[in-house]
Structure 1
Amino acid sequence: MTTRDTVTIGAFQFLSGESVPSLEIAYESYGEFDGTNAVLICHALTGSSHVARRPDAGDDTAGQARAWWGDVVGPGKAIDTTEYFVVCANVPGSCYGSTGPASTNPETGDPYGTDFPPVTVGDWTRAQRALLDEIGVGRLHAVVGGSVGGMNVLDWLRRYPDDVEYAASIAAAARLDPQCLALDTVARRAITTDPDWNGGHYYGGPEPVDGLARARQIGHIMYLSKASMARKFGRRSAGRETVREKPPDPAAAFFPYREVESYLDYQAEKFTDRFDANSYLYMTRAMDDFDLAAGYESDADAIAAFEGELLVLSFTGDWHFTVEQSEALADACRETDVSVAHHIVESDHGHDAFLVEPEKVGPPLSDLLAVGLEGRSITDTEDEEIDEPEAFAPVHTSLFSE
């Protein structure tokens, strides 16, 4: 069974103190609920509720070309929808069906734009809890997410520790480091300095396409590793047959148009067709703001009340959310006796790895959902030295582009 629907949870006050008169949450569900088998999937920055393939979807794919985790979630997959009732909700502030900046403000009849309240990861968690209450789901068998979705998972553990049995935070961290904060700042400046941004009130007129395109290109560079970029593009020219819409500067006709440039231009063009610039501002702000220890004495204190089991997955080539950051999170859990395992995946895909290597991500997730941290595919790095891998996996096409 699959469902795509929107639930109205009524007036909603955000953690900023501001509120909207009505908050709608778009979600998809897969499988049948038996009262104990619910698994919540938390999507990444520009993901949607369309996490798994739906035979009835056709072109109705929540704005994305294909299911963003269709090789991990589905019948017979690691998160098996014949066994588990899987729910994925589009978070507030996004543009894939849930209320966000592009939505109509019922009090004015116009799009909110930047009048929409500031959104935090905590607001995502609270909205997800409200959605689950509306559809009759109480305690979760598991909550799973990657990237900022992994931060969303951690917020569940500190905000609703009694509501989760198993959790998996994948390619995530307790907070962003200053380098990533800086890159996100530049990406947002690219949008807000676009002449068409108009203070965020561009709906019905020219949209800040160029600014959003530059922001997305910065994001793509963050998602890839040096090794994967070298292997995928090198310094190769894109070839004479590759035509770009317009040269970016007068000298461009003399110098080669490289494959890496062509890739970034192509991904930017596809992204601007499917995502809203204001939502990109709101979503990155929420990610940047997240700090697991906020309001607590430490990360350990923040999750001390969680009595379930947490699997932390990291990837050796990921410099966006590093192995060391995941190990620090695992150490915080051990400090307060939270059951945890840190599973390191050897990969040169960078941050993309949790999407493009289902054969490495799936087994530990499957074991976690079935038997917890005792699963044979789950290993813990405690008391082990973290070494660089001797060999890497081959490079695949990034699913962030879809």
Structure 2
Amino acid sequence: MLREIVIDQFENSAGKVQDIRLSFQFFGNKPTEAPVVLVNHALTGNSEVTGEFGWWKDLIGEDKCIDLRKYCVLAINIPGNGYKGHEVFKEYKDFKLKDIARLQAKVLEKLNIDKLYAIIGGSIGGALAWELAVLKPALAKHIIPVATDFKATDWLVANCRIQEHILNNSSNPVHDARMHAMTFYRTPQSLAQKFENKKNEGKQVFEVENWLLHHGEKLKNRFNLDSYKFLNHLLTTIDISGGKGDHIQYAGQIKGHIHIVTVNSDLFFLAEENRKAYKGLSRFKPEVSYYEIDSIHGHDAFLIETEQLVRFLKPVFEIKEDRFYGVAEKRNKVLSLK
């Protein structure tokens, strides 16, 4: 069930103050009865992370890697993503991704959740996991950024700039921006394997063209233009250092175990950048691990190669006893109120 919280008088990075309404969902156990896992969605995703229409249902669910019989899963919609008709931001450039992390921290505070077993997210959701972990270094036992980065590279900014131009100048903006995006979410090898240069005789186009048109139309019918502009802008503001530049130093302040998951063929968030991050952190932080998904499918492999992702993360989410991270304290707090 979708629930709401209002954060009163929130001041964003541009210094503007407003009340912000956020929506979220719980799955599995209650937060006072099981360890809480915060799951952050990707650009066109939302809080529907599991269930029949869940975008990460292969990873999250009963008897899945993140087992809803053992965990409480919390998913917060990035405000402005327009899910279920919720607000969008016209002045989207007033916000940075760190503002969304600050909002998440306030939601957790209002929900009386002071510790998380894990923060996990893919793509921009993984970058948000980085931002929240730097903001609250002792919040989570495990931080799992998947197919992402803790900074916006020149390559990322360049692609987002093209997306912005399409969104501001096309007569069919969401449709056309999505077609462009699909070309860097996948790889030439992935498309070659999928389509084999075949033509769709009925439509007199190549199958790859038909596929791009389909994805453009699909997103156009379910995603808001202002939301797309906002999320695309947030990608360009990924920066855990707050503009200071020493990203490794800031990541090193995180107390929990960092599990960096990358895709060797990712053309959006490059594996090379994640390898550098791991090498830099591992020089002085023992609680850091690196996993690389081997795939021809590029950025989208974090949604396609579920078996590999589960193999990497299963040991993280195997709980062998009842003393969960933070739950004993929560239970004592609840008992003290009776």
TM-score of the pair, normalised by structure 2? 0.89
Residue pairs, 1:57-206, within 5 angstroms: 66-97=53-84, 100-101=87-88, 114-115=90-91, 118-194=94-170
Residue pairs, 1:261-340, within 5 angstroms: 261-296=209-244, 298-340=246-288
Task: Write the distance in 2 (CA, Å) between the matches of 1:234 and 1:181.
Answer: 31
Deviation digits for residues 275-328 of structure 1 (CA, Å, limit 9, x no counterpart): 111111111111112123334451221122212101111112212112211111
Which structure's residues are more often strand, by fraction?
A: 2
Per the alignment, residue 5 of structure 2 pairs with 7
Contact 1:168 1:311 in 2 (8 A): yes
Task: Write the distance in 1 (CA, Å) between the matches of 2:146 and 2:133.
Answer: 14
Contact 1:91 1:127 in 2 (8 A): no
Q: CA deviation at 1:168?
A: 0.6
Task: Write the distance in 1 (CA, Å) between the matches of 2:139 and 2:196.
Answer: 48
Task: Write the distance in 1 (CA, Å) between the matches of 2:292 and 2:174.
Answer: 33
Q: CA deviation at 1:344?
A: 1.1
What's the secondary structure of 2:227's corresponding residue?
Answer: helix
Per the alignment, residue 40 of structure 1 pairs with 38
Contact 1:166 1:369 in 2 (8 A): no
Q: CA deviation at 1:131?
A: 1.5
Task: Write the distance in 2 (CA, Å) between the matches of 1:224 and 1:117.
Answer: 28
Per the alignment, residue 370 of structure 1 pairs with 318
Residue pairs, 1:14-25, within 5 angstroms: 14-20=12-18, 22-25=19-22
Q: CA deviation at 1:6?
A: 1.7
CA 28–153 in structure 1, closer or farther in 2 if over 3 Å, else same: same
Contact 1:14 1:119 in 2 (8 A): yes
Matched-pair identity in %: 24
Contact 2:120 2:126 in 1 (8 A): yes
CA 340–8 in structure 1, closer or farther in 2 if over 3 Å, else same: same
Contact 1:144 1:169 in 2 (8 A): yes
Contact 1:40 1:86 in 2 (8 A): yes
Task: Write the distance in 2 (CA, Å) between the matches of 1:193 and 1:80.
Answer: 44
Contact 2:119 2:144 in 1 (8 A): yes
The answer to which of 83-92 and 28-37 deviates more is 28-37
Task: Write the distance in 2 (CA, Å) between the matches of 1:166 and 1:9.
Answer: 26
Deviation digits for residues 43-95 of structure 1 (CA, Å, limit 9, x no counterpart): 111110000106xxxxxxxxxxx210011011111011110110011112211
What's the secondary structure of 2:193's corresponding residue?
Answer: helix
Q: CA deviation at 1:231?
A: 0.8
What's the secondary structure of 1:9's corresponding residue?
Answer: strand
The answer to which of 134-143 and 11-20 deviates more is 11-20
**Structure 2 spans left out of the alignment, 5+ residues:** 321-338
What's the secondary structure of 2:32's corresponding residue?
Answer: coil
Per the alignment, residue 332 of structure 2 pairs with none
**Structure 1 spans left out of the alignment, 5+ residues:** 55-65, 102-111, 195-207, 243-255, 373-402
What CA RMSD, in Å, does the superposition of the two structures yield over aligned residues?
Answer: 2.0
Deviation digits for residues 149-175 of structure 1 (CA, Å, limit 9, x no counterpart): 111111122110011111111111122
Indicate the structure (1 or 2) with the bigger Cα radius of gyration.
Answer: 1
Per the alignment, residue 336 of structure 2 pairs with none
The answer to which of 39-48 and 114-123 deviates more is 114-123
Q: Which is bigger in relative contact order (C-alpha 8 A, separation at least 6)?
A: 2
The answer to which of 274-283 and 325-334 deviates more is 325-334
The answer to which of 358-367 and 213-222 deviates more is 358-367
Task: Write the distance in 1 (CA, Å) between the matches of 2:252 and 2:158.
Answer: 31
Task: Write the distance in 2 (CA, Å) between the matches of 1:363 and 1:7.
Answer: 35
CA 319–189 in structure 1, closer or farther in 2 if over 3 Å, else same: same
What's the secondary structure of 1:269's corresponding residue?
Answer: helix
